[in-house]
Amino acid sequence: METQTLIYLFVGASFALYIGIAIWSRASSTKEFYVAGGGVNPVVNGMATAADWMSAASFISMAGIIAFAGYDGSVYLMGWTGGYVLLALLLAPYLRKFGQFTVPDFIGTRYYSKAARVVAVICLIFISFTYIAGQMRGVGIVFSRFLDVPILWGVIIGMGIVFVYAVLGGMKGITYTQVAQYCVLIFAYMVPAFFLSFMITGNPIPQFGLGSQVSDGSSLYVLEKLNLVLMDLGFGQYTKGSKSMIDVFCITLALMVGTAGLPHVIVRFFTVPKASDARRSAGWALIFIALLYTTAGPVGAFARLNFVDTVNETQYAEAPEWFTNWEANDLIAWRDKNGDGVMQYRAGDAFAGSPEFSESGVGNSGERLLDNMATVNENEVYVDRDIMVLANPEIGNLPGWVIALVAAGGLAAALSTAAGLLLVISSSVSHDLLKSTLKPDISEKGELLAARIAATAAIVVAGYLGIYPPGWVAQVVAFAFGLAAASLFPAIFMGIFSKRMNREGAIAGMVAGLTSTFLYIAYFKLWEPAANTAENWLFGISPEGIGVVGMVLNFAVAIGVARMTAKPPAEIDALVENIRVPRGSGAARVH
């Protein structure tokens, strides 16, 4: 069977499975729509949480960034993995015991203020839409290459699929759909990793293959060979980082605490019966997540080796089929600067400028224009970082069914997280703004309708951001983590562990953290991208790591304002004490 036919078969079957599960588990009440009825088994919830967590950034982009950034890319592995441990230990059980539906629900009740709830909703929407832009971008890339449609139409098709099972099934439908998506995405990620590890090192276990010798007779280890090859081409050593220590620290910490403040992950712990189940489901999720995260480093290294071996010094007329396939989708591009017909892959950007127009006024390279000054550098090849995991099976000349499996897995990763984010946005609008703030007398049927309308509107906005993203998938997601670290995490953390924190302090802190972080990111990524260099960064901290500064500012402002204003009422003291007492659990409730 032809590869393209297999791709249609695998992707079509996975979509049919997701939609079938959504119809089977359709939400009939707000409790089912928001928290899946509150009775999900911890193991099932752990698997669903892992799918929610392992987004397009994890599946599609993380190994691609590691492949090209080398040691510097390890910040994503350290930050996202460590952050999940932080979430499991510090927040998940306490929030589950509190027994609400959403993060703004917790903040609004804990800080006895509708204003605090509204500020939390605003923070959540900023975070979620930034995050979801990366997911829809990933969906567009997968559709563009494997279903042979433009990225625009790929995003639109993805929007339609998410609409069916997120709007119809709510959290109940999403939970069981995400279990299926986890199975698809982890199998799709691991199978080609086994193949590639065996082909390059003779060891089928990628985690061990990374530390093995390359089976080409050179007696060199994988990383040793990668260092030598890249240095010969003018790149830095793969195992030596270029980022400053403070930037590495801040990016890693921002990703860690941002994890603990991500609303779509936190809400998953409201779906289990009791607080102890929340801790157990977090542990299971960590096991499921570790399967992919411990594989990403080897996949990145194998991908870079394969890419160099199959592209560099190759006659363009004899370019492998996978190269021309991705070139047709504007995600790889080549220009013969010296006129010899040979592809020269070297250090330096082959392209510069805007994605909209090339020299001829026609869109050309997806993200950058061809640079017509050949003297700038010798590099003639541009490759979009987000394609490496998806292209790996083709680069390694693996069977067609593996390529089809990776296509289905990439879509599963992007759609699972997109659905979780959309649900968070819709529940915040319908439950936190309407039910709890603006229209407390709304009926349950009216609230459910409002949630579905909000989810529909969110899908449209998410699609637009997916078509016009402000960076690579993992990079965009890193911004979302920074915003979460600077805004929601301090308010949640102090809400659990500080009886003295009051509403004035929490509101002031969230506003200060969100505003400062967003403005910093927007300045360097949207308004003045040419200034986005280390010498212009505050304390040498990149936009990906600035969330740590925003978090410190949030804590400082919140504590300072709280000290100058009245203490919380006695009932809030009792509420905080009850959350921290390790016995029993409250059932999720609408109020």
Task: Report which of 260, 588, 266 is spatially closest to residue 431, judged by C-alpha positions.
Answer: 588
| Tens digits of residue pLDDT in 187-242 | 888 988 998 899 899 999 999 999 899 888 788 899 999 999 999 888 888 888 78
pLDDT at residue 471, rounded to an integer:
52
DSSP 437: I
Domain regions of the chain by residue span? 3-215+249-293+398-580
The CA-to-CA distance between both ends of the chain, in Å, stands at: 56
Assigned architecture for domain 3-215+249-293+398-580: Up-down Bundle (1.20)
Instruction: Compute how many other C-beta atoms are within 10 angstroms of the C-beta atom of residue 291.
Output: 14
- The DSSP bridge partners found for residue 315 are 342
pLDDT at residue 587, rounded to an integer:
46
40 sits in the region (left: phi over 0; alpha: psi -120 to 50; else beta) called beta
Instruction: Compute how many other C-beta atoms are within 10 angstroms of the C-beta atom of residue 566.
Output: 9
pLDDT at residue 205, rounded to an integer:
92
pLDDT at residue 180, rounded to an integer:
82
Task: Report which of 406, 409, 395, 190 is spatially closest to residue 298, judged by C-alpha positions.
Answer: 190
CB contact set of 151 (below 8 Å; sequence gap of 6+): 140, 141, 143, 144, 329, 467
DSSP, collapsed to helix, strand or coil, labels residue 39 as: coil
Phi, psi dihedrals of residue 140, rounded to the nearest 5°: -60, -40
| Tens digits of residue pLDDT in 527-580 | 787 787 888 898 889 888 899 999 999 999 999 999 999 999 998 888 888 877
- What separation in angstroms does the CA of 68 have from each of 90, 172, 307, 351? 34, 39, 11, 16
pLDDT at residue 370, rounded to an integer:
41
Instruction: Compute how many other C-beta atoms are within 10 angstroms of the C-beta atom of residue 153.
Output: 14
Distance (Å, rounded) from C-alpha 158 to C-alpha 463? 8
| Tens digits of residue pLDDT in 474-521 | 556 667 778 888 988 899 889 988 889 999 999 999 999 989 998 998
Structure-token pair, residue 239: 């195992």
Residue 28 has pLDDT above 50, yes or no: yes
CA 105 from centre of chain: 24
pLDDT at residue 551, rounded to an integer:
94
Under a CB-based contact definition with an 8 Å cutoff, are residues 114 and 434 in contact? no
